[in-house]
A and B are shown apart, each in its own frame.
Chain A
Amino acid sequence: MAAALEIRNLHVSVDNQPILKGVNLTVKQGEIHALMGPNGSGKSTLAYTLMGHPAYEVTAGQIIFDGIDLLELEPDERSHLGLFLAFQYPVAIPGVTLANFLRQAINAHRRAKNPDDKGIPIPEFRRLLKEKMDLLKIDHSFAGRYLNEGFSGGEKKRAEILQLATLEPKIAVLDETDSGLDIDALRIVAEGVNALIGPDLGVLIITHYQRILNYIQPQFVHIMLDGRIVESGGADLALRLEEHGYDWVREKANES
């Protein structure tokens, strides 16, 4: 059965300031959702909360993943279940190579499944990494660089997608993966995501602009305003936003 990420009536505060005010959303494996909204509407708060950042306090509601209550779990346990977050601003870890980091992450996942696991054999890891790098058209020398340190905007986002490809989650949240990318970098990253999309991966694309959706076709589009999802629809909803902006959504939300 397809795994699902269910967000039910989610309320979240940061520094006692309510940001999310009752979010409802379900993303299933194999589905592609886009969550759009203006700056400050709460999109990134939702992303961080899903992954369990300690600064985001859930004051009401639930997040259920594959039938399990995520709110009880640490970020690493959420990852083991098959949830992934591609960060808008990936953090640099000086002195730790991308390859070393990915191997540790893979081994952590293997140990979560089987506590006796001895870790992925190095040759197998090298093969896997090469294969995924080729899939995403990433130069092999990338593996030896320190994680996100001195990476360009495009390189950081590609490294995020490489992690996505390597860890093979069930549901991936892409937080503003298109931000700060020029058109060529955006195309490369989007092609990378498209190469991974299939029946085993559900995707929630969080974005400010419609342009990434020219490359990755969502089946569902949701609009967030002031901490709530105020409008949901098909791919055409994104085009309507592109044409008319957010004002009509605001007006409609104020009326109801």
Chain B
Amino acid sequence: MVRRRVELKEATVPLTREDVVALSERLNEPDWLREKRLAAWELAESIPMPTTRDEPWRRTDIRSLNWDEAMHLADAGDVSLGDVPAELYRPLIGDRQGGLLVFANGKLVHSELADEIADQGVIFADLATAAMEYPELLQRLMMTEAVLPDEGKFAALHAALWTHGVLVYVPRNVHVEYPLHSVEYAPGLQMTATHVLVVLEEGASATYLHESASPTQEHQILHLGATELLVRDNADLRYVALQNWGENVYNFGHQRGRVGRDGKLDWVVGEMGCRLGKVFQTLELDGDGSWGRMSGLYFVHGRQHLDLDTQQNHHALRTTSDLLFKGALKGHSRVVWQGMIVVDPGAQQTDGFQANRNLLLDRHSRADSIPGLEIQANDVRCTHAATVGRLDDNEIFYLMSRGISREEATKLIVQGFFDPVMQRIPFEEVRERLWASIESKLDAPS
């Protein structure tokens, strides 16, 4: 690969208001949506580009991002399901698929939803369709409760420029029996901005998997993501998001889940790809007795840089949060994890836990693991743990003494390391695919 000289200069966004209008027109959007985009664009223009002088960005320098190269909003042209690797959209459980949406270069290329699920009133649609058919839902719920456009430069840019996305809406007391699955594959050279909005009304339950992937290319490409999970009282959502963008992608994301009274959110993220990734992921335990589990898994190598900023916010009585992020690093890669548990005054009987564990496979890789607690109630139990460790020579020796080669021994240890998080992914097929991608990174030279 040719290594280019990276010029560090003050970053400016190469797009203008006219590009936002053009995007909205290309997507045939209704007026209200275009107005929303334009308001967000104004906001985005007013927010300065984050720099390492800003606390959340202190360890992530984005000056290697070449905006002119990475931020193209061109039409994707003709794409079809054939452009997407088939293993990404194979059925998750046996041959049953509750629903499947596939995007290529930000364009919808496949859409299906099982009749019995549609008959229950469940909406599983791409956002462009949803904007036409369910405008009231989007007006009311999109970027109004979970991720707000004014959270930061990238949230505002996303709100102005999102290219495609998914709406999952499950009505009151409806249980979606089979998993929903969406896949986005971006082999092209234009930026994409994906929006995922999941709403589970009172007492509803669902399992949903969202995957993104692209091949690694020479050009830098920008991805701006936002994920909103609204879990109402007594609802129960299992959400798995796997990111495997090519290692030329600069990925910025805001993700927030809100959980109502006695609701449950089981949230798993896998972060494998990207040249540079910065994701803010926040759990808001709004209702009494709400429960949230955040599980993360990452494997980076080469010069990948991943910065994960997690928050577990306890706002009500008897809430529980449990975070476990585990990752391995190879080559010159770098990971930053900053986690915070916040307990509001009055949020008594909070049970909060966070653990981040890093396994360094090379002496050049580096992980910064920064846990934090902000507790303003007195009857709580909050604990945290953060570790950065290396492969243990004694473990390798022990396995090798049984005839297992050094390479296989390393794989076994890494596999064992990830097992507790892997087990939280409810699909065998997905676990296997994820492991295969870890294995190929282990096999690759660092």
Contacts and interface: CB of A to CB of B under 8 A. Distances in A.
B418 A95 contact: yes
Contacts of B404: 76, 104-105, 108
Given A76-B400, A76-B403, A91-B398, A96 B413 contact: yes
Contacts of A100: 412
Counting chain B CB atoms within 10 Å of each CB, the highest count among A54, A108, A146 belongs to A108
Contacts of A52: 397, 400-401
B415 to A, nearest CB: 7
Interface in A71-90: 74-76, 78-80, 84-85, 87, 90
A82 B401 CA distance: 11
B421 to A, nearest CB: 10
Interface string A191-216: 00000000000000000000000000
Given A54-B393, A54-B397, A108-B408, A94 B416 contact: yes
A45 interface: no
A52 B417 CA distance: 25
A78 B417 CA distance: 27
A109 to B, nearest CB: 5
Given A54-B397, A90-B398, A104-B408, A95 B403 contact: no
Contacts of B16: none
A101 interface: yes
Nearest to B404: A108
B413 A79 contact: no
Interface in A86-119: 87, 90-91, 93-96, 100-101, 104-105, 108-109, 112
Interface in B381-404: 392-395, 397-404
A53 B393 CA distance: 9
Contacts of A79: 400-403
B398 A95 contact: no
A163 interface: yes
Nearest to A163: B402
B402 A93 contact: no
A12 to B, nearest CB: 16
B75 interface: no
Contact of B405 (A54, A76, A78, A95): A76
Contacts of B398: 87, 90-91, 93
Contacts of B177: none
Contacts of B397: 51-54, 75
B361 to A, nearest CB: 16
A112 B415 CA distance: 23
> Contact size class for B?
20 to 34
Contacts of B412: 93, 96, 100-101, 104
B341 to A, nearest CB: 25
B406 interface: yes
A4 interface: no
B323 to A, nearest CB: 18
A75 B401 contact: yes
B419 interface: yes
A161 to B, nearest CB: 13
Contacts of A76: 400-406
Counting chain B CB atoms within 10 Å of each CB, the highest count among A74, A79, A96 belongs to A96
B215 interface: no
Contacts of A146: 416
Contacts of B405: 76, 108
A167 B402 contact: yes
A162 to B, nearest CB: 12
A109 B419 contact: no
A170 B406 CA distance: 23
B417 to A, nearest CB: 6
A153 to B, nearest CB: 17
B401 A95 contact: no
B420 interface: yes
B416 A93 contact: yes
A84 B394 CA distance: 16
A166 B400 CA distance: 16
B403 A101 contact: no
Contact of B403 (A54, A87, A94, A105): A105
Counting from the closest, the 7 A-B pairs by CB-CB distance are A95-B416, A95-B419, A79-B403, A96-B416, A75-B400, A105-B402, A108-B403
Given A51-B397, A52-B400, A167-B403, 9 more contacts: A55-B393, A76-B401, A76-B402, A79-B400, A87-B398, A94-B417, A101-B412, A105-B402, A109-B403
26 contacts: A51-B401, A52-B397, A52-B400, A52-B401, A54-B397, A75-B397, A75-B401, A76-B401, A76-B402, A76-B406, A84-B401, A87-B398, A91-B394, A91-B395, A95-B417, A95-B420, A96-B412, A96-B413, A104-B412, A105-B403, A105-B404, A108-B402, A108-B403, A108-B404, A112-B403, A163-B402
